[in-house]
Structure 1
């Protein structure tokens, strides 16, 4: 009996032949373990967290009682908590809009005009900040935006300090310095999440067929008309795809609102305070439903706009 005959009779060969004949079984073998891990670790822990939202919290003993109640979920609709949700939504929407406005010209130049060497430079420039620690970048911005930081120094050199101080007096913007204002918080969020907007838009623009642009030009359309009616509609799913990252990351962040800006709570900081400082885990668990619902709604809208095709 030769070596080939022995190889054909090995159990491993029989298993390989079985998996080759039954593609469904092969798919189950490949995806089964990670799906089981996902269901047990992620979904299991999430359901356990949400279930704790039905527990009671004793304000006197500061202890969690396993007594069923809907009070925690009802408190989500209290005026103060609604204000927290609206404040977070406003910031997430503003950051998403600003990121799209800044990212689109960068992505457009990368996909349409940049040479391979320049495009590589832009890729490095966009992705390099993502390699640095998130905490380091957050603390660095507290120094950059401080009263004696580089931003105030630069504005002083340009004789624009007075304009900045006037801007900081506006409602929903103000603070004594940039590092204690909503404007400073907005700038940091936009800086941190901008790469997550640039890359999906650039990928969507790369997929725009050049012959459509050429056809638009041949039919007499001006550059602005071609951009509005050809390029922008085809690249818009990339904008929506990038907005998924900027919106959801801003919505759940608690570090930036803690380090930069005024003392108003965001969704992330409220959950952190309830769980850490107060110890009211049931209320923290109940409030986590808010970002879950908001992100689920946003994803449903993004899917209808074709965002997942641009990822």
Structure 2
């Protein structure tokens, strides 16, 4: 132990060696295998993978209209889910951190975490039941004289927003917990109204927390395919295209090419966020 104490670099290497090895081999190695597979092709007659280096899979993605539509639809759904979760999560987190007492705060924190204890499929099928004819959502729309949205993009967005909401609430709550109450009191003493304090003090201070939550909700929505199959009706997202090509079509190279789109989008999103300076404060 004394030897390790005198050699901090050795201690750090032993501490981080196994996790970094796992990251390099299991995660980055899998991504490398994904990109390499995307450059191969499938023999249309035998169905076997041919290791011929080509960009045909990516050319198909960018030239066939249906795949461009699915890609844009997936990004749009992920953005909408992220915005909805941010709008819903902020007042919840603000009340939990700055208004609620200690007992109520613990209760609300448990209430936010409780949906994570239930199975993903149980929650998705629960929303399917609510959007089905005669379900809670359908009955509510019919009660006010509106047509039920049924299965489709609206049901997909609502379901995904519900599924990922805790991943937005918790980072914002943590960010607001670190916000000193003295700043809010100083704003009030200087004559700042509630809306001014919210806009000029609170929101700028929790941008890193919003970024952290958006990374979770945006990335999880980009890759989701189960909820879309359950409540999405005939709509498809990129995850469904990957699933169909791995399963029924058994076209692994094209599935790998499709799977690179969410990866590239997330890399671009993280790069854009990093340029704002928000990543340094996470």
Per the normalisation by structure 1, the TM-score is 0.86
Distance 1:111 1:304 in 2: 29
Q: Is the CA contact (8 Å cut-off) linking 2:153 and 2:235 kept in structure 1?
A: no
Count of matched residue positions in the alignment of Structure 1 and Structure 2: 281
Per the normalisation by structure 2, the TM-score is 0.94
Distance 2:128 2:199 in 1: 39
Long gaps (5+) in structure 2: none
- Alpha-carbon displacement from aligned partner over 1:184-235 (angstroms, at most 9, x marks no partner): 1111011101111111111111111222222212222212111111111112
1:123-138 correspondence runs (5 A): 123-138=109-124
Q: Is the CA contact (8 Å cut-off) linking 2:176 and 2:206 kept in structure 1?
A: yes
Distance 1:286 1:155 in 2: 41
- Alpha-carbon displacement from aligned partner over 1:45-102 (angstroms, at most 9, x marks no partner): 2212221111111222222112221111222212222111100011001111111111
C-alpha distance 147-242 of structure 1, shift in aligned 2 (>3 A): same
2:265 corresponds in structure 1 to 294
2:146 is paired with a residue of what secondary structure? helix
Q: 2:221 aligns with which of 250, 253, 257?
A: 250
Within the alignment, does 1:163 sit opposite 2:128 as a pair?
A: no
2:81 is paired with a residue of what secondary structure? helix
Q: 1:275 aligns with which of 240, 243, 246?
A: 246
- Alpha-carbon displacement from aligned partner over 1:123-151 (angstroms, at most 9, x marks no partner): 01100000111112112221121102122
C-alpha distance 37-226 of structure 1, shift in aligned 2 (>3 A): closer
Long gaps (5+) in structure 1: 1-15, 169-176
* RMSD over equivalenced CA pairs, Å: 1.6
Distance 1:249 1:72 in 2: 24
1:1-311 correspondence runs (5 A): 16-78=1-63, 79-156=65-142, 159-160=143-144, 162-165=145-148, 168=149, 177=150, 180-308=151-279, 311=282
Q: Is the CA contact (8 Å cut-off) linking 2:152 and 2:235 kept in structure 1?
A: no
Q: CA deviation at 1:245?
A: 0.7
- Alpha-carbon displacement from aligned partner over 1:152-188 (angstroms, at most 9, x marks no partner): 23444xx21x3234xx4xxxxxxxx2xx221111110
1:118 is paired with a residue of what secondary structure? helix
Higher alpha-carbon Rg: 1
Q: CA deviation at 1:305?
A: 3.9
